[in-house]
């Protein structure tokens, strides 16, 4: 029991319930529309509204940009609903330096799109459909993320 | 590869260009919105919208992220298998997409770069967006970074023949 407490200092039920909820969302999208919904693609498809560059005007990107944006809008609404129900009147503040968020984000965006998936595309959808490339991607990004997170700590970051 | 939304019984009667099926699009948007709601609620409930919690996992202090990912994968695994057996086609029409990830150098190089950024910031694409809904406006910096990264990737992608 103490072992469990060591692995989950903040408890574990909210993690499991939240994860199940995410799975229901992804499955619901599939049942309703037949679509497989990772989250990194919206950052590429939305550029098709802004730039005429050929890459962003590919048919498959333009054809999916609307539902992907609606899906992203749902994310915001869902988290807002959580905030209203369970947030206790306090917003969730993030105390990291803007540069840490922006530079990390740059690598996240570039890498996820190069790899064609992120924690949800490869991690949830890919693993759930037993895709070997996704498993390889997950193992790869878990490894580099652990290294990076510990290096940040080593060099005095948060 | 492409999650096709090919229009079969489309009422628009327009057979010229490759088109997004207009008849279904409102249903599709509403579907994506509600599915996204559950997704976002789950991300917030599981505290994955807090970069500090994600970094805590990556530093071996809290294994919660494994439960989130495991729970989500388990439900989705069942959903992807059961739904096509219960339904001939998706509820709003169309066809079930096949997930086929490609394995090449980009898959792994991209994942490695993604991991570096994830480890530096504790932020990934979904939670960055969802967190905005819980008032974490600071995550706007991360969303801007991710968007710029995605733009850079598209602009530098080799042209397909």
Residue B133 lies in domain: 22-156
Taking CA–CA distances from A19, the nearest residue in chain B reads B68
pLDDT in tens, B15-30: 444 444 555 689 999 9
pLDDT in tens, A48-74: 999 999 999 999 999 999 999 999 999
Q: Give B99's contacts in chain A (Cβ within 8 Å).
A: 36, 125-126, 129, 131
Residue A54 confidence (pLDDT):
96
Asked whether residue B147 is assigned to any structural domain, the reply reads yes
Residue B96 confidence (pLDDT):
95
Asked whether residue B5 is assigned to any structural domain, the reply reads no
**DSSP designation for B158:** P
- Rg (C-alpha) for chain A, rounded Å, is 18
Q: What distance lies between CA B109 and its chain's CA centroid?
A: 19
Asked whether residue B8 is assigned to any structural domain, the reply reads no
What is the C-alpha separation between B83 and A16, in angstroms, rounded?
A: 22
pTM: 0.91
Do residues A17 and B45 lie in contact, with contact meaning Cβ atoms separated by under 8 Å? yes
Do residues B41 and A131 lie in contact, with contact meaning Cβ atoms separated by under 8 Å? no
Is the sign of the CA dihedral A26, A28, A29, A33 positive or negative? positive
Report how far apart, in Å, the C-alpha atoms of A87 and of each of A77, A154, B51, B114, B134 are.
Answer: 14, 33, 17, 30, 8
Q: Is the ipTM of this complex over 0.90?
A: yes
Residue B99 confidence (pLDDT):
80
Residue B57 confidence (pLDDT):
97
> Average pLDDT, stretch A97-111?
97
Report how far apart, in Å, the C-alpha atoms of B8 and of each of B21, B71, B109 are.
Answer: 9, 35, 38
Tell me the pLDDT of chain B (161 aa) as tens digits.
344 444 333 344 444 444 445 556 899 999 999 999 999 999 999 999 999 999 999 999 999 999 999 999 999 999 999 999 999 999 999 999 988 888 999 999 999 999 999 999 999 999 999 999 999 999 999 999 999 999 999 999 997 64
Residue B23 contacts A, CB cutoff 8 Å:
no
pLDDT in tens, A3-41: 777 899 999 999 999 999 999 999 999 999 999 999 999
Output the DSSP codes for A101-146: HHHHHHHHHHHHHHHT--IIIIIIIIHHTT-HHHHHHHHHHHHHHH
Do residues A102 and B117 lie in contact, with contact meaning Cβ atoms separated by under 8 Å? no
Asked whether residue B128 is assigned to any structural domain, the reply reads yes
Q: Which of residues 50-69 of B touch A (CB under 8 A)?
A: 50-53, 55, 58-65, 67-69
pLDDT in tens, A69-102: 999 999 999 999 999 999 988 999 999 999 999 9
Instruction: List the single residue in B68, B126, B144 with the smallest CB-CB distance to A39.
Output: B126
Residue B123 contacts A, CB cutoff 8 Å:
yes
Residue A2 confidence (pLDDT):
60
Residue B10 confidence (pLDDT):
39
Asked whether residue B102 is assigned to any structural domain, the reply reads yes
Is the sign of the CA dihedral B110, B113, B116, B118 positive or negative? negative
Instruction: List the single residue in A19, A71, A95 with the smallest CB-CB distance to B70.
Output: A19
Q: Is residue A16 helix, strand or coil?
A: helix
pLDDT in tens, A131-155: 999 999 999 999 999 999 999 999 8
Residue B22 confidence (pLDDT):
52
Residue B160 confidence (pLDDT):
63
Count of A-B CB contacts under 8 Å: 549
Asked whether residue B6 is assigned to any structural domain, the reply reads no
Output the DSSP codes for A23-84: HHHHHHHHHHH-----SSHHHHHGGGGT---GGGG-HHHHHHHHHHHHHHHHHHHHHHHHHH
Number of domains in chain B: 1
Is the sign of the CA dihedral A24, A26, A27, A31 positive or negative? positive
């Amino acid at each position: 029991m103490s072992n469990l407490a060591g692995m989950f200092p903040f408890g574990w039920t909210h993690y499991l319930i939240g994860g199940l909820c995410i799975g229901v969302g992804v499955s619901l999208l599939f049942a309703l529309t037949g679509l497989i919904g990772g989250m990194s693609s919206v950052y590429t498809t939305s550029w098709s509204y802004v730039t005429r560059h050929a890459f962003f005007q590919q048919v498959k990107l333009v054809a999916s940009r609307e539902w992907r944006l609606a899906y992203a809008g749902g994310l915001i609404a869902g988290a807002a609903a959580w905030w209203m129900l369970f947030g206790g009147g306090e917003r969730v503040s993030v105390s990291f330096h803007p540069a840490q968020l922006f530079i990390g984000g740059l690598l996240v965006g570039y890498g996820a799109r190069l790899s064609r998936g992120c924690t949800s595309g490869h991690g949830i959808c890919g693993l759930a459909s037993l895709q070997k490339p996704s498993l390889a991607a997950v193992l790869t990004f878990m490894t580099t993320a652990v290294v990076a997170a510990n290096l940040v700590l080593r060099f005095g970051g948060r | 590869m492409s999650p096709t939304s090919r229009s079969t019984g489309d009422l628009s009667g327009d057979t010229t260009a490759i088109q997004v099926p207009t008849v279904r699009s409102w249903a599709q948007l509403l579907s994506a919105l509600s599915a996204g709601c559950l997704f976002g609620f789950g991300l917030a409930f599981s505290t994955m919208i807090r970069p500090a919690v994600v970094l805590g996992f990556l530093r071996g202090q809290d294994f919660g992220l494994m439960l989130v990912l495991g729970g989500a994968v388990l439900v989705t695994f069942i959903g992807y298998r059961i739904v096509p057996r219960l339904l001939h086609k998706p509820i709003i029409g169309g066809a079930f997409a096949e997930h086929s990830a490609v394995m090449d150098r980009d898959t792994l190089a991209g994942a490695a770069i993604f991991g570096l950024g994830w480890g530096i910031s504790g932020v990934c694409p979904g939670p960055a967006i969802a967190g905005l809904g819980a008032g974490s406006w600071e995550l706007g910096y991360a969303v801007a970074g991710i968007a710029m990264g995605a733009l850079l990737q598209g602009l530098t992608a080799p042209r397909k023949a």
